[in-house]
Copies of this chain bind each other. A is one copy, B any other.
Amino acid sequence: MNIYDISKKAGVSIATVSRVLNGSDKVSAATRARVLAVIEQAGYMPNAFARSLGLNSMQTVGMLCADASDVYLAQAVQYLERELRENGYTAMLCCTGYALKDKQAYLELLLRRNVDALFLVGSQFIESTKEGNAYLLQAAQKVPVFLLNGSLNGENVYGILCDDEQATYELTQKVLKAGACSPVYLYRYFSDSSARKCAGFSRACEEAGLSGGRCFACPGSFDEARAFLEQCPVADFDAVLAADDGLAVGAVKYALAHEKRLPEDLQVAGYNNSLLSTCSTPELTTVDNRVEFLCATAVSLLMQVLQQKDVPQKSTYSATIVPRGTTLF
């Protein structure tokens, strides 16, 4: 069943059928109705591949995400997909994992599908070395590349990111002001975003005259985070700030297991304002980095880029602190 079949049944040329399909106004109401009736009756759907071949676009964007089951990333995936669809685009999802080699391979895989753009969801996609990021710049020669919560200097690469440094700085200040004397910072793995968070934390610590060496990488499961705190290099810590809510939940579990009162004996704060922050009892103080806004912005920027409009290479927005039960403010 193709456009020829329809044109025959309707007694018109394929050009007319095509015009009807694409809502051209250069078709008389009568023929339009007739053609539509035939299409309806036949249950005809135009072949997407043929259409894409001519138009050189299938209205598709590649979405790379290290782990779509991560509470935070999953939310981003959800919002992005929704926004994209509202703009007529479909998302091709690729869960890459955290290894650079895989990220590169899956990015190429998506490029081979002729996607119209690439979304890299999460700061895991920015490497610390120039060579590590080369593949992104290369991809950007073919399609616009959007970094969600990351930034990278390069033609056709667009970064939208939350000011994690400032948010963490302010959060740390509040925790210190509320009485903490020996805070520590936990992050899951090194990334563009966690580096910014550590920087904000350290800045606040320095300003308060505290000693350094308080930021630690720590495995991500609740139990591992808890175990880490049991042998924390800074033995007398009285506040745990974390780069994501999961680690903070680990800290809560640590406190509950050691009969430390939350927040009197130990202040805890997470990041992301994810489901985990309210799942915890007491509920976590956390930072809302506004994923929904991030995603909406990214998609709207993409639409502008596709319309050949000028778009800033880097957009920054600020986060909000959400005080709840695990801090003294």
Interface positions of A (Cβ within 8 A of B): 45-50, 52-53, 56, 58, 60, 63, 67-71, 74-75, 77-79, 81-82, 85, 90-95, 106, 109-114, 222-223, 246, 249, 252-253, 256, 275-276, 278-281
This protein's copies in its complex: 2
Take A53-B53, A78-B68, A95-B81 as given contacts and tell me if A114 and B252 are in contact as well, using a CB distance cutoff of 8 Å. Answer: no
Q: Which of B74, B222, B252 contacts A68 (CB 8 A)?
A: B74
CA gap between A56 and B50 in the complex, in Å: 9
**A-B contacts, 8 listed (Cβ < 8 Å):** A58-B113, A68-B78, A69-B74, A74-B74, A81-B95, A85-B106, A90-B92, A253-B281
Chain B residues closer than 8 Å to A252, beta-carbon distance: 281
Per the bound structure, the CA–CA distance linking A91 and B48 in Å amounts to: 16
Among all A-B residue pairs, the 4 with the closest Cβ atoms: A74-B74, A69-B78, A49-B52, A49-B53
Given contacts A71-B71, A246-B279, 12 further A-B contacts (CB under 8 A): A46-B112, A49-B58, A60-B113, A69-B75, A69-B79, A71-B74, A81-B94, A90-B92, A90-B94, A90-B110, A91-B93, A279-B280
Shortest CB-to-CB span from A75 to chain B, Å, is 4
Q: Name the CB-closest residue of B to A97.
A: B82
Closest to A113 in B: B48
Complex Cα–Cα for A282 and B240 (A): 21
